[in-house]
Amino acid sequence: MALNLIPTLEATMLAIKISGLHKTFNNSKRALRHIDLAVQHGEMVALIGASGSGKSTLIRHIGGLVAGDTGDIDVLGNAMQSGGRIDRHARRVRANVSVIFQQFNLVERSSVMTNVLTGYLGQIDGLRGTFGLFSRDEKQAAMRALARVGIAGTATQRASTLSGGQQQRAAIARALVQGSEIILADEPIASLDPASSKRVMETLQEINQTDKKTVVVSLHQVDYAMRYCPRTVALREGEIVYDGPSAALNSAMLRDLYGADCDELLSENAEPAIKNIRPLSTPQLDAPIKAATA
């Protein structure tokens, strides 16, 4: 069967479509429970939830790194997995998805430039990639990506010499070079200070707005979701308990959804204006796509 990577009408509309996804680890409690989720092309969506709520597991499923027990995941109109099996064409679907991790996942002993150039490895032939033979155009594009994320001056440095925030921006530059339509970022700011967190979130936002890339970013704390992402999907114990406008979130609702875990979602370092999320004047949500108290 030929793989359709030419954008069809549906592909241009839906970047990610998940239906009926369940995941259990070691036959113990469910890590993900009946997840249904549709993300439009060009959206910037926050995935929030306390630790253990399933954020990383969901991101790994979308990225085609883990198979669910049941359920289907389509990415840009192509099956990434279905019925608990990774699709046999998933490798090619994955080429359109970049995953950014909390711990940056750079090769620390290599230069920043080399790390960014590895974004090309899915696109060029194996031998050329193995020997690191990148073209001048590729190197120039890598430099442009580094300039865009604001760390062009670090190109020749070893990745290990960069600060956490700079390493995360190098990882974003690598994703830019990869040229994928979808960026999945799993708690990209969890180990960063507030100033670096702001830079990283601004960089993701700029890529979303300028390049219209779809961004799904998991965040431990809700204030960043409210500031940078128009839409928030909230997970609790593997279930989606809220999916709707970030602006409609408020502390009363979070308390309702998360109980005592709520405090974990309100960051200590948040600027006061965001930290003190005020209840909306109206008790009703504006336009929740889904709101439930599980």
Residues that bind Mg ion (CB under 5 A): 55-56
CB of 281 to ligand ADP, least distance (A): 31
CB of 5 to ligand ADP, least distance (A): 29
Q: Whose Cβ is closer to Mg ion: residue 211's or residue 237's?
A: 237
Choose from ligand ADP, Mg ion, none: what does 269 bind? Cβ within 5-8 Å by kind: none
Q: Whose Cβ is closer to ligand ADP: residue 57's or residue 246's?
A: 57
B/e letters for 123-159, b = 16+ CB within 10 Å, e = fewer, are eeeeeebeeeebeeebeebbeebbebbbbeebbeebb
Q: Whose Cβ is closer to ligand ADP: residue 149's or residue 229's?
A: 229
CB of 26 to ligand ADP, least distance (A): 6
Contact by Cβ (8 Å): 131, 117: no
In whole angstroms, what is the distance from residue 19 CA to residue 10 CA? 16
In whole angstroms, what is the distance from residue 190 CA to residue 180 CA? 23
- What residues numbered 98-127 form the site for ligand ADP, per CB under 6 A? none
Q: Whose Cβ is closer to Mg ion: residue 12's or residue 191's?
A: 191
CB of 53 to ligand ADP, least distance (A): 4
Which residues are CB-neighbours of 93 under 8 A, at least 6 positions away?
3, 64, 75, 76, 78, 79, 80, 87
In whole angstroms, what is the distance from residue 73 CA to residue 52 CA? 21
Which residues are CB-neighbours of 126 under 8 A, at least 6 positions away?
none
Residue 90 phi, psi (nearest 5)? -60, -30
Minimal CB distance residue for Mg ion: 56
In whole angstroms, what is the distance from residue 101 CA to residue 106 CA? 10
In whole angstroms, what is the distance from residue 127 CA to residue 133 CA? 9
By CB under 6 A, name the one of 1, 9, 26, 130 that touches ligand ADP: 26
CB of 192 to Mg ion, least distance (A): 15
- What residues numbered 188-207 form the site for ligand ADP, per CB under 6 A? none
In whole angstroms, what is the distance from residue 159 CA to residue 146 CA? 13
Q: Whose Cβ is closer to ligand ADP: residue 55's or residue 231's?
A: 55
CB of 45 to Mg ion, least distance (A): 16
Per-residue binder mask for ligand ADP (CB under 6 A), 41-70, x = binder: --------x-xxxxxxx-------------
Which parts of this chain interact with ligand ADP (CB under 6 A)? 25-26, 31, 49, 51-57
